[in-house]
Amino acid sequence: MAHVGHRLQSLLSGGLSPADREEAEAHLHGCVGCKEERDLLAAARAVIAPLPAQEPRVGFAPMVAVNARDQRGSPFLRWLRWSFGGVAAAAVAAVAVGLLIPATPPSQRGDEVRIAQRLELFEDLAVVQHREALEDLEVVAVLHTLEARP
């Protein structure tokens, strides 16, 4: 049976047909991951539900879209920046490891290798976090195209 994560919002709001609801409930009884996702979504809905509905100020979505576009720049420049950044980071890491490993006794080499690996993980984390922020800005850029439900 397929996971029901994409239908949890409809399940919690009562928007599923009885047959689909039964199928989703049956899946939730056997799938811990989907059940946890449902519980998290239900908790979030419980926190958000009592908040008053508030409209964004006029011009908010276009302003965010313009700012996002300005920050992103052209695709070629983004590619160039990521390419040079990756090459530079790899070069710095290679030089640092190359200089530090031969100069240290064998007992200390393990610590430096672990530090270099953690540095690489930290750099990868920074790249992923930045990418997610850009994806969030892309979502905000199209908010004005959404229609309100009656």
Give residue 48's pLDDT.
Answer: 82
Greatest extent of the chain over all pairs of C-alpha atoms, in Å: 71
Percent of the chain at pLDDT above 90?
1
- Residue 2, SS3 per DSSP: coil
**Where along the chain do its domains lie?**
5-48, 60-145
Residues 6+ away with beta carbon under 8 Å from 99: none
Q: What is the pLDDT of residue 78?
A: 73
pLDDT greater than 60 at residue 107? no
For 111, the 3-state DSSP assignment is helix
Res 99 pLDDT > 80: no
Residue bearing the bigger pLDDT, 16 or 120: 16
pLDDT digits (tens, 9 = 90+) for 27-55: 888 888 888 888 888 888 888 888 888 88
Q: What is the pLDDT of residue 104?
A: 53
Task: Report H helices in the chain.
Answer: 8-13, 18-30, 32-48, 60-72, 75-103, 106-141
Look at 12 and 99; give whichever has higher pLDDT. 12
